Amino acid sequence: MIDRRTLAAVLAILLSGCDVDPAADVAAPAAVTIQAVPQAGGAKPAPESAPQAAPTPKNRPPLTEMAPQKPFIDPPLPPELLDDDDLIPLPSPTQPS
């Protein structure tokens, strides 16, 4: 016999199609104009920046700089949170715990 809570959860998943983003109500998309701008004579496009070297155990950034990507960017951790002091160091994010 299916528990009512389980059934409610399943129904909720099935009903997810009813979610309508309010942003979808915008009547018309904003117009975008692209205008060509003449460049200075003889100017060449800037060279692309050199690709970053693949991380190795030696050049890998500190663990604390491996910031997660989210809808926002955290400022750098304060210095005291980068210092373990007498604490036993934490495992690396890539190490099995």
Footprint on this chain of another protein (rule: CB under 8 A): 3-5, 8-9, 11-13, 15-16, 18-20, 22, 24-25, 63-64, 66-72, 74-75, 77-81, 84-88, 90-91, 93, 97
Give the three-state DSSP class for 42.
coil
Give the integer Cα–Cα distance in Å for 13 and 11: 5
Closer CB to another protein, 36 or 85, in the complex: 85
| Cα angle 74, 75, 77; round to 5 | 100
Cβ atoms 89, 64 nearer than 8 A: no
Shortest distance (Å) from residue 95 CB to another protein: 9
Closer CB to another protein, 13 or 54, in the complex: 13
